[in-house]
Structures are given as structure tokens and as C-alpha cells.
Structure 1
Amino acid sequence: MVQQTNKINQYASLSLLAAASLLSACSTFQSKPAPAPAEPVVARVINEEPPVVTAKMAAARDSLSQMVALQDRLYRIAGPLLINNADLCRTQARNLLGFTAKNKYSYTGEFVDAAQAVLNYGDRLEVASVLAGSGGARAGLRKGDGLVAAEGKTLPTGQNAETQAAGILGPLVSGHQSLNLIVARDGRNQALNVPVTRACAFKIDIGNSDNINSYSDGQRVMITRGMVNFAHSDEAIAYVLAKDIAHNVLGHAATTRSAYTVGSIIDNLVSVRPDLTMLIGTAGVKPMPQELDAAADYLSLYMVARAGYSLDHAHAFWQRMAGQYPATVLNGYTANHPAVNYRLSVIDKTIAEIKGKQAAKKPLVP
């Protein structure tokens, strides 16, 4: 908190210095006494020029704040799905520390300034989110902790720090049961021992678009802002996340669609300013065959139950989705997953199967 306050004070000081310099410049250019004092001229210049920049910055800050809040929510909901289903993710499970980290260079253009002003990011990587239930969460790692060192190795700062840090942390995580981290917190360094967590190694992203859809490319899952708003509850968002995690586990992105096409859509929509013209028409994404869609429904419902979410509203959620956004709505979820009636029958049978195992206290293994 002290560190963040110091940064805010620095920005305030810079603003005051800029205003003072502008005042001096305007006074210097007065070659002879004028009827009006210099101060109103300064006020007029200040009131006319900065608002354009301020409005732009305000928009950037607002957009960035919304995306960060939605990303935090997705990460929190995804935590139990990724950790509790590591055995179901087969070869896609990895040893993870359970946190993401960013610095101001994780953003581009005016969003670099927004990241500094809104998130207090600088050159050093800071913890952006902590996966619920992970080793990072159990060790007390906090959002905003600066990454200083891992196992005695100094962690990089500045541009490309994310990629460079991954190159250091990856081998360490694969060879350790826990990792000794030094983090900067409240103006001083603090040592943490972070246990390694086995989890499904799929990246979870928020898509900066209002279309009601989600995407998976074999390695990532992305849910649009529109889908989050439509689903509304954590439980419903978990249904969508689990469905796309299941598609990845079952290899459907590689076997039925162009993983490159879906990957390009994800790359575009995770940006702060996506090119929405890519979503014109069908966006090049082919409908999922009903047998594969149903297979993903079957696996995903087990994942949802194992993560501790209720299955009671799964049928109603997917039915509501198809009713409000049918297959005729391009770039909507049902357009890419049109076999609604077939899916709903599988969903009903699967829920009955899972509840039967729960009642008999049998392992929830699909």
C-alpha cells in the first residue's frame, strides 16, 4: 500500500510540475503588460488542451479496469475447475505456481499509461491474479506483490520480462515441490515458500467483445465479455469454462476445426482494442459435430461437479442460451454448437449418472 501511495504521489508531483512549467512559459511570453493578467490565459490553456488527453486516458483506464475485473473473476471461477480436475486433463496437466504476473509493458499504446495509473504497474513484474486453491494462494501470495527473485535467481524487469521470467520459473517449477520466492510488498522484500500445484494447464482469458460466445484452441479457453454478462452467475460461467476445457482435453480443436483460425480469434479478442471485423459472418469457425459436442458436455459436467459447482441449472442454462441466441445469430454460441436437443438429452443423462454416484458415495470418474 505504501508503494502504491508513493507512485500516486509521484504522478501527482509530475502533474504539478507540468502545470508550473506551463505557467512560467505563459508568463515569459508576455512582452509587455496586458489588460488581463496572465493567470486567466494559463487557465484557458489548461482547460482547453488537457481535456482531450484526459478523456482519452479516462477511456483507456475504464476499459482496462473492466477487463482486469472480468479477468480476475474468470480466474477465481476457473481455479477449482483447473485444480480439481488435473487427473482428467491427462497430458495437459502441469506443475504450476498458480499466479499470473504483469508489468506496464504487458500493455501497448496509451494503455501503458493506464496500467501505471490504474494498476500502479512499473518495470517490475507484479502478481496480477492468484488462482484460488493453488500453492500461490496457500502461501499467501497477493495481487500486487512484486517479483524479485526465485530460488536465488533475480527475476527480470522491463520489456519482455514476462517471457524471460517464464524461462526462469518453468524449469524451477518442473524440478521442485515448492519454490522460494522473494516478493516486494509494502516497501520491503518478503520471503515466501510457494508449493507447486498440479493443475490443468489451460490459459483462461476474457474476450473484449459483446458477442455471446466462447472459444478453445487446444491450449486456451476464452469467454467473451458478452458471454460473462449473459451467464451472469459464477455457476453458469463454470458451465461454459468447463465445456471448453473439455473440448481442449478431448482434442476437438485440432480434429474438427482450424486451431489456427480459433487461435487468431482469441489473440485478437484478448487485446484491449480488438478488431471486431474479424467476427463478421461465421468468423471461419465451423459448427461442432453433435457427437463431439455431447462428449464435451459429458466430461465437462463431471468437471463441474468435482469442482464443487451445482449441476441443477445446467439444462436450463443451455436451453436459455439456445432460445435467446439461436443458431441464426452469427458469432453466437449456438451457431457454433447447434445440436441443442441432442446435447440436452446427454446433459440430463449425465447429471442423473453423477447424482447417482454422489448418492452412493462413489468416485466421480467419467
Structure 2
Amino acid sequence: MEKKMLEVVELTRQHCRSTLIALGVAALLAACATPAPTTAPDSSSSTVTKAAAPLPAAPAPVPVVTSAEETALRQLVDLQDRLDRVAGPLLVNNPALCKRNARRLLGFTAKTKYSYSTEFTPAAQKLLQLDERLRVTGVLPGSGADKVGVLRGDILLSVNEKSLPQGPNAERQTAALLAPMVTSRGNVKLTVLRNNRQMVFDVPLTMACAFRVELGNTDAVNAYSDGYRVLVTRGMLAYAKSDQDLAYVLAREMAHNALNHPVRLRSSATIAGVIDNLIRVNPDLGMINGTAGIKPYSQSIDAAADVMALFMTARAGVDIDGASAFWERLANQYPIATTNGYTALHPATTYRLAAIDKATADIHAKQAMQKPLIP
């Protein structure tokens, strides 16, 4: 099963880069009718009640067979869905803080059965009901698409009266078609098929931080940002048990990107290599031994990211009061000496916690005075 879990993470890379995944579930119900007892007269015309006919044996339940690929895909769905659900408010509410990376977005993702590698196509067809057509697999919370009522499962037919492509290259061709539209317009006309009915939506484009959120294929408790992407490992997802804790992790890596730290520290290429490796089917885990060649962040750089992350988190409506305790707990459980651990890349815990406490007080003061939440 671990091998299958490793395999599915490559799917995150193959379908689209800020993906939100939907899950379709089918149930099989079986029932049988039981005949009533019968009576019949005998030859003497006296009425005699005969014994009831024996009841037919109930049919054995039909087992629902789930393949290893279906199980693995369902696990990927759950992990990536959680990542995207928590990332959504951070992306939508912070374009003012990530200006360099802010873009107009439609606010949903869509896939075909070809969005997955060949061995997972049957599972994608069964679980996600995907075929040749682009089907909405996730809607960014708070986006224009969300507000006008675009739903998971909608089949895309056209945008601004232009029919959308189908088949193996549908995603790439559609992206090329949409690029000039989202650059020059404030709204797009979207036609979808829902329950065999065509529906038309006037979708306002959403300005948001255009960071791609990736799932890392390792149990190491870590997270990375290369200037354009944010990767959270499977191990960090397990450690950050609440969505609030996960928001702290995502916001911090988004803050490093927004502040251009990977580029300024000339580590963007190295971190990009780590991310490219960890989203593979079979990543080379030897590549992430120690700090994976990434120079540990200085205390001033890390503290700046902590402050920006708290403002991003507060703007997304997440309670910031648990941030200091979360990072302290993480540093204690996975200290600097932990191989592949988060603290090895971010060692200045004491300095960071002081900055976090100060920023928390600053944010609460701004909120009390109804001032803009800008660092």
C-alpha cells in the first residue's frame, strides 16, 4: 500500500497545478421480494390451508471490489483536497501581499480521464466520473466561480461562445485558449452541462496569489517554497492535524514566495529540484537527506516570513493565536538534528517565536482599530 501511496502523488503534477479534486461515490443496493403463502381447495371441497412454500434464500451481498489504484486515488483525493481547501482562502484573500505573484483566475480546476497516468485511468473514470470532456473537479472557495454557483461535476462546454476541446490534450489546449481571456477581461461567459441541462454563468475573474500547491511524496515532516510553488509533505500533513495548523504552514511558505526569499537567497533552483523530485512516482529520498543542499534560512529572513504569514493568515480569517504554540511544538518534536526535518532549514526558533508574538499583538491592535492588515 505504501508503494501505491507513493505512486499517486505523481498525479498531482500531471493533472493541473492548483488542483482541487472531487470524489464521486457509487453505492450498490440489492433487494428481493418474498412471496406470500398460498391456499388451495382439496378434492372434497373442504378448504384446507396448505403449508407455506419455503422462502427463497436471500442472495449473497454483492461485494464492492476496490482496486489498489482506486484506494490510492481516494487517498490522494483526500490529501490534495485538504491542501486546496485550506490554501483557497489564503490565495484569494492575499493578492495585496503577494503582488508579484497575483493573477486573475477563473477559480476552478477541471480534468479529463487523461489527466492521470494510464494505470490510474480506470480508477479516475470510476471514482471521479471522468471521460473525454473537461469536468470541474474543484472550485476555489471565495472565487468568482464559487460565488456564481459553478459546482464540482459540471462538464465544461464553452467559454465566451468558444467550444472547449476534448481528449488527451484538452487541458493544455484550454489553458492556451483561456490565457488571453483572463488577461484582458473582468468576466467570462461559461457554459456547462449539469444533469443533462446546459447552464450559463457569467464568472467574474478572481485576483489571487497564483502559487501552485503541491503534495510531497515523503513522510518527512517538511515544507518547501521555490518562489512559485508551495510543497507540503505527506508527513507534514499528518503532523498538522487541524486545518488551522496546516494554514500556518501554507501561509509561511507562501510568505517566503511573496517576499521573494528563494530567489534572493539564490536557492530557488535547488528547492525547485527538491520539489520536482518529491512529486515524482518514486522520488529519490536520498536527495532530501539533511537539508537537501538548501542553506538554512537566517533568523531575519525567517522572522520576516513569519510576520508576513501571520498577516496572510489573519486576512484569510484564520485564528492566529495558536501559531506560536504550533511552531514551538514542531521545533521541540523535530529539532535541528532531525534528518529531513523542518527545523533543520529554519533553526532560529527562539528568534522566530519572539517575532511571531510581536506580530500577533500588532495584528490584534490593527483589528481592534479596524485598520488594514498590512505588515
Letter in 1 for 2:166: T
The one-letter amino acid paired with 1:73 is R
Correspondence for 2:83 among 66, 69, 74? 74
Q: Which amino acid aligns with 2:269?
A: Y
Does 2:178 align with 1:169?
A: yes
What residue is the counterpart of 2:225 in the other structure? 216
Deviates more, 1:336-345 or 1:264-273: 264-273
Task: Tell me how far 1:307 sits from its aligned partner.
Answer: 0.9
The answer to whether the 8 A contact 1:210-1:224 is kept is yes
Q: In structure 2, what is the equivalent of residue 299 of structure 1?
A: 308
Q: Match of 2:161?
A: 152
TM-score, normalised by the number of residues in structure 1: 0.81
Alpha-carbon deviation of 1:271? 4.2
Asked if structure 2 preserves the Cα contact closer than 8 Å seen for 1:212 and 1:224, the reply is yes
Tell me the distance in 1 between the aligned counterparts of 2:214 and 2:140. Answer: 13
2 CA distance for matches of 1:152 and 1:221? Answer: 35
> Is 1:334 matched up with 2:343?
yes
Q: Residue by residue, what CA displacement relative to the aligned partner does 1:185-210 show, whole Å, maximum 9, x if unpaired? A: 22333212111111111111222321
Q: Give the secondary structure class of the aligned counterpart of 1:212.
A: coil
- Unpaired runs of 5+ residues, structure 2, are 1-23, 29-63
Residue type of the alignment partner of 2:120: F
From 340, 355, 358, the equivalent of 2:367 is: 358
Map 1:113-152 to 2 at 5 A.
113-152=122-161
Distance in 2 of aligned mates of 1:275 and 1:64: 22
Q: Which has the larger radius of gyration?
A: 2
Q: Structure 2: how far apart are the matches of 1:191 and 1:273?
A: 42
User: Within the alignment, does 1:85 sit opposite 2:89 as a pair?
Assistant: no
Match of 1:346, SS? helix
Report deviation, 1:243.
0.5
The Cα shift of 1:264 comes to 2.6
Q: Which residue of 1 aligns with 2:257?
A: 248
Match of residue 189 from structure 1: 198
How far did residue 168 of structure 1 move? 0.9
For 1:263-342, list aligned pairs within 5 A.
263-271=272-280, 273-342=282-351
Task: Kindly indicate whether the alpha-carbon contact (under 8 Å) linking 1:179 and 1:193 is maintained by their aligned counterparts in 2.
Answer: yes
Query: Does the aligned pair in 2 maintain the 1:63–1:272 contact within 8 Å?
Result: no
Counterpart Cα distance in 2 of 1:268 and 1:110: 21
Residue type of the partner of 1:252? H
Q: Distance in 1 between matches of 2:71 and 2:205?
A: 35
**1:149-206: per-residue Cα shift (whole Å, max 9, x none)?**
1111111222222221111112111111111111122233321211111111111122
State the 1:257 CA deviation: 4.4
Secondary structure of the residue that 2:67 maps to in structure 1? helix
Q: Which moved more, 1:119-128 or 1:212-221?
A: 119-128
The Cα of 1:8 is off from its aligned counterpart by 10
Q: Distance in 2 between matches of 1:240 and 1:211?
A: 14
Query: What is the alpha-carbon distance in structure 2 between the residues aligned to residue 130 and residue 314 of structure 1?
Result: 27
Query: Residue 132 of structure 1: SS of its match in structure 2?
Result: coil
Please state if 1:103 is matched with 2:106. no
Note closer, same or farther for the CA distance 1:159–1:278 as it changes in structure 2 (3 Å cut).
Answer: farther
Residue type of the alignment partner of 2:131 = G
Displacement of 1:248 after TM fit?
0.4
Distance 2:102 2:178 in 1: 17
CA distance in 2, matches of 1:97, 1:184: 17
Deviation at 1:346, TM superposition (A): 0.6
Given that 2:290 and 2:344 are in contact with CA atoms closer than 8 Å, whether structure 1 keeps it comes out as no
In structure 2, the residue corresponding to 1:156 is in which secondary structure? coil
Q: More helix by proportion, 1 or 2?
A: 1
Preserved CA contact (<8 Å) 1:243 1:297: yes
Q: State the Cα distance separating 1:72 from its structure 2 match.
A: 1.5
2:211 counterpart of 1:202: yes
Counterparts of 1:263 and 1:290, CA distance in 2: 22
Aligned length: 317
| 1:285-312 CA-partner distances (Å, limit 9, x unpaired) | 2211211111110111111111111111
- Structure 1 stretches of 5 or more lacking a match? 10-53
Note if contact 1:213-1:332 (Cα within 8 Å) is conserved in structure 2. yes
Residue pair 2:296, 2:346 contacting (<8 A) in 1 also: yes
Contact 2:220 2:341 in 1 (8 A): yes
